[in-house]
């Protein structure tokens, strides 16, 4: 059973999860089903991380469970509000639409993912080099363990910046509300994969996709080691930036994570919202 979980975890989230989301939208079902779909995959991630953990210590709470819940609740609510505002935003854009609406929905989603990935990756890269952005992004880097749910743990202002970087080109191109909804689902599923504590198989895909075995290096607590692997969906932009890194022999544990020069970074939700402005 553990072998099967490791084998099918990646395609389950990457292909099946997004495939179900596309089917929901394509059949004209309520967008509320997308929320239920994402909730089901979050719950599934919790269960399977305990069945086949990369590191059992990553499953143990460090007083962060409630905090991570608030981060996820606030940030995903903001995502939903953003999707709902698409018609309003579109009304202020006078450019002719160049979005390929005639393509099948799954192809439109792939295009949206590839475009958004570049913008989000560049914003992420900049957040490690511009002090003001880093102060916001440091909230995410304060984690001392990696499990799927804390992929959603970000300062809301930093999430807004990354979202703006990834979605703005799509809005200017005339993306539809349906495809943007699917993109949000894809982002959540990817964050669950990227921060997952499941020791799932990646094979050669680790050199193309921004999966957990690659992303753990980004969370190493020193800038010398952690200034790598900025991609959300893929490592393509990292190859251009020269920031790709993977060491198959490196085992990353709790003591390797966090912010090296801020070991006592606040843990509470409200404290983390305030910390960047102190």
Give pTM, 2 decimals.
0.96
pLDDT tens, position by position, for the chain (278 residues)?
999 999 999 999 999 999 999 999 999 999 999 999 999 999 999 999 999 999 999 999 999 999 999 999 999 999 888 887 877 777 778 789 999 999 999 999 999 999 999 999 999 999 999 999 999 999 999 999 999 999 999 999 999 999 999 999 999 999 999 999 999 999 999 999 999 999 999 999 999 999 999 999 999 999 889 999 999 999 999 999 999 999 999 999 999 999 999 999 999 999 999 999 99
Q: Tell me, what's the pLDDT at 88?
A: 77
Q: Tell me, what's the pLDDT at 181?
A: 95
Domain ranges in the chain? 2-277
Q: Tell me, what's the pLDDT at 90?
A: 72
Q: Tell me, what's the pLDDT at 22?
A: 98
Q: Tell me, what's the pLDDT at 164?
A: 95
Q: Tell me, what's the pLDDT at 87?
A: 74
| Token pair 């599934």: residue | 44
Q: Tell me, what's the pLDDT at 126?
A: 98
- Residues 253 and 230: their CA atoms lie apart, in Å, by 20
Q: Tell me, what's the pLDDT at 124?
A: 98
Q: Tell me, what's the pLDDT at 60?
A: 95
- Residues 48 and 44: their CA atoms lie apart, in Å, by 6
């Amino acid at each position: 059973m553990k072998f099967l979980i490791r084998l099918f975890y990646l395609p389950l989230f990457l292909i099946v999860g997004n495939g179900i989301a596309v089917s929901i939208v394509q059949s004209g079902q309520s967008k509320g089903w997308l929320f239920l779909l994402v909730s089901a995959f979050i719950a599934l991630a919790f269960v399977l991380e305990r069945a086949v953990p990369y590191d059992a210590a990553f499953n143990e709470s460090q007083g962060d469970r409630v905090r991570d819940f608030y981060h996820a609740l606030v940030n995903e609510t903001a995502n939903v509000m953003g999707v709902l505002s698409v018609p309003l935003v579109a009304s202020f854009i006078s450019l002719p639409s160049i979005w390929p609406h005639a393509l099948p929905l799954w192809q439109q989603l792939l295009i949206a993912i590839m475009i958004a990935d570049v913008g989000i990756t560049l914003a992420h890269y900049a957040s490690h080099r511009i002090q003001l952005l880093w102060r916001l992004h440091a909230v995410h880097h304060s984690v001392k363990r990696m499990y799927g749910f804390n992929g959603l743990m970000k300062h809301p202002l930093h999430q807004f910046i990354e979202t703006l970087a990834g979605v703005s080109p799509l809005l200017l191109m005339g993306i539809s509300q349906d495809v943007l909804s699917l993109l949000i689902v894809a982002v959540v599923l990817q964050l669950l994969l990227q921060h997952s504590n499941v020791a799932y198989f990646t094979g050669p895909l680790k050199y193309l996709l921004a999966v957990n075995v690659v992303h753990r290096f980004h969370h190493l607590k020193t800038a010398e080691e952690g200034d790598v692997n900025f991609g959300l969906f893929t490592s393509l932009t990292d190859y251009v930036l020269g920031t790709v890194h993977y060491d198959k022999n490196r085992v990353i544990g709790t003591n390797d994570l966090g912010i090296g020069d801020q070991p006592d970074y606040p843990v509470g939700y409200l404290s983390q919202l305030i910390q960047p402005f102190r």
